[in-house]
């Protein structure tokens, strides 16, 4: 790395000139760091921030002087200096974390699956995967056994199926209003012109094109709500600074459609809202799978898989499921959308529970209180947070 580039990167960092504090548990930063910390009430917990640009100055300087310029070197040295016996993170798609284990003096490494994974620009992208010899953790905690098998394919690490840590942390709520809630996928920080290339077709699609396909689904959902006299709700993906941009987008593209928009101001907000909805609709969202796991009537419309010719974007991947099912569709035609929504609207609770089991292999089973997670980590003083 050239000195000018290094100086530029260092200039963007926020330095802490104190020594790394002693800790029993190190949590590598994510938006669930505070939640993770709550499971170790009797331990000294250190949250190591990465995305914010926060760095321990003297630890970083030691790394640079030794020629250790990668982020995994820095994180490992912080963990070692803290003296902790456990390093844990829910940023499982941050590949440098898979390289920590061989650099640590005593701490065990646990990674937790953060979201639904695919082979496109994600953890299982063949162009990103490190070689098996470079990857090892003491435990990878995943949504389901299918993902666990994928992880085992590139690392020899033990795998534990716990469902979704996030979803398990939030108690279930009773359905209380007649609404169909659509889980937003819009990201104001991505340009409409951003191109997605496909390995299986010479055609590329822009982010704007994908949004248009999802908008077609959204329009049909709104029509269904109007016909069935159900409230039409959009659950925001963004909170705080970006919520206004997200709302403005939907207000513009759904000009003549009445809807209620809820920004995601807290991590638990949308879990409560999918539980309280009559039907939840997902076009490309981890929350859609989590909603299925929580037992909610959920429609999955995955047009992205069809457009991009990418099977890893289809419902159920890495398990191969039919492209069309009672509560899901890859084609996303007007007819199929109506069929799925009418099924969810008319089926009984018992029929729904039985139908949901068709994809039991690929949905994160709901474990309120994260008991399996706690049982594994009880040696580190972890305990469950009462959520029921």
In 25-151, beta strands by DSSP E: 25-28, 45-48, 54-56, 86-89, 108-112, 139-142
- On whether the pTM is more than 0.85, the answer is yes
In a domain, 385, yes or no: no
Which of residues 6 and 238 earns the better pLDDT score?
A: 238
125 and 11 in a single domain? The answer is: yes
User: How many angstroms from the chain centroid is the CA of residue 148?
Assistant: 16
In a domain, 73, yes or no: yes
Cis ω for the linkage preceding 118 (within 30 of 0): no
Residue 290 confidence class, pLDDT cut points 50, 70, 90: very high
pLDDT at 249 over 90: yes
pLDDT of residue 337: 96
80: CATH: 3.40.50
In a domain, 90, yes or no: yes
pLDDT of residue 387: 55
Using a 10 angstrom Cβ sphere, with 0-12 exposed, 13-18 middle and 19 or more buried, the burial of residue 267 is middle
- Beta bridge partners, 48, equal 28
DSSP summary character for residue 313? G
Asked if 112 and 163 count as a contact pair (C-beta separation under 8 A), the reply is no
pLDDT of residue 84: 96
In a domain, 386, yes or no: no
Predicted confidence (pLDDT) per residue in 150-191, tens digit = 888 777 788 999 999 999 999 999 877 799 999 999 999 989
pLDDT at 119 over 90: no
pLDDT at 231 over 80: yes
Handedness of CA 315, 316, 320, 322 (dihedral sign): negative
Q: What is the mean pLDDT of residues 188-208?
A: 75
In a domain, 196, yes or no: yes
Buried b / exposed e across 314-325, counting CB within 10 Å, b at 16+?
A: bbbbbeebebeb
What is the side-by-side strand order in the sheet with 324-325? 260-262, 231-235, 179-183, 279-282, 298-301, 328-329, 324-325
62 and 82 in a single domain? The answer is: yes
Q: DSSP of 323-377, one letter per residue?
A: SEETTEESS--HHHHHHHHHHHHH--HHHHHHHHGGGTTTS----TT-HHHHHHH
What is the extent of the structural domain holding 54? 3-168+368-380
285 and 203 in a single domain? The answer is: yes
159 and 244 in a single domain? The answer is: no
pLDDT of residue 202: 56
40 and 140 in a single domain? The answer is: yes
197 and 293 in a single domain? The answer is: yes
323: CATH: 3.40.50.2000
- How far apart CA 159 and CA 161 sit, in angstroms, is 7
In a domain, 387, yes or no: no
Predicted confidence (pLDDT) per residue in 336-380, tens digit = 999 999 999 999 999 999 999 989 988 999 999 999 999 999 988
265 and 208 in a single domain? The answer is: yes
In a domain, 230, yes or no: yes
372 and 324 in a single domain? The answer is: no
In 101-167, beta strands by DSSP E: 108-112, 139-142, 159-161
Q: What is the mean pLDDT of residues 263-270?
A: 91
Buried b / exposed e across 118-141, counting CB within 10 Å, b at 16+?
A: bbbeebbeeeebeeeeebbbbbbb
- How far apart CA 281 and CA 298 sit, in angstroms, is 6
In a domain, 212, yes or no: yes
DSSP summary character for residue 168? H
Residues 6+ apart with CB under 8 A from 260: 179, 231, 232, 233, 234
Which of residues 381 and 291 earns the better pLDDT score?
A: 291
3-state helix, strand, coil in the chain (%, to 5): 40, 15, 45
Which of residues 345 and 131 earns the better pLDDT score?
A: 345
Count of domains for the chain: 2
């Amino acid at each position: 790395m050239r000195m000018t580039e290094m100086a530029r990167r260092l200039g963007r960092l926020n330095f802490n000139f104190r020594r790394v504090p002693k800790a029993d548990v190190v949590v590598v930063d994510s938006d669930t760091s505070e939640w993770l910390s709550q499971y170790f009430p009797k331990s000294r917990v250190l949250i190591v921030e990465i995305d914010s640009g926060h760095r321990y100055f003297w630890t970083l300087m030691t790394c640079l002087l030794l020629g250790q310029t990668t982020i995994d070197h820095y994180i490992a040295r912080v963990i070692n200096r803290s003296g902790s016996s456990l390093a844990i993170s829910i940023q499982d798609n941050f590949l440098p974390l898979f390289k920590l284990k061989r650099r640590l003096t005593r701490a065990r490494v646990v990674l937790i699956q953060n979201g639904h994974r695919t082979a496109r620009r994600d953890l299982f992208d063949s162009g990103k995967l490190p070689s098996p010899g470079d990857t090892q953790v003491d435990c990878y905690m995943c949504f389901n056994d299918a993902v666990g098998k994928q992880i085992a394919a590139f690392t020899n690490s033990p795998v534990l199926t716990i469902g979704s840590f996030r979803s398990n942390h939030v108690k279930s709520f009773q359905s209380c209003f007649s609404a169909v809630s659509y889980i937003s996928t819009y990201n104001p920080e991505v340009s409409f012109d951003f191109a997605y290339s496909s390995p299986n077709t010479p055609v590329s699609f822009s982010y704007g094109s994908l949004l248009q396909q999802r908008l077609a689904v959204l329009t049909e959902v709104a029509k269904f709500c109007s016909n069935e006299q159900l409230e039409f709700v959009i659950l925001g993906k963004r909170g705080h600074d970006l919520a206004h941009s997200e709302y403005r987008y939907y207000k513009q593209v759904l000009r003549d459609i009445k809807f209620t928009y809820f920004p995601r101001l807290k991590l638990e907000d949308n879990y409560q809202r999918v539980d309280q909805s009559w039907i939840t609709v997902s076009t490309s969202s981890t929350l859609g799978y989590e909603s299925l796991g929580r037992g909610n009537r959920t429609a999955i419309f995955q047009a992205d898989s069809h457009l991009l010719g990418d099977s890893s974007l289809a419902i159920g991947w890495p398990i191969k499921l039919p492209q069309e099912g009672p509560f899901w569709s890859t084609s996303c035609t007007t007819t199929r959308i109506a069929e799925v929504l009418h099924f969810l609207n008319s089926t009984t609770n018992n029929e729904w529970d039985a139908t949901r089991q068709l994809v039991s292999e690929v949905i994160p089973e709901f474990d309120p209180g994260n008991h399996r997670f706690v049982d594994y980590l009880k040696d580190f003083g972890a305990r469950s947070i009462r959520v029921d």
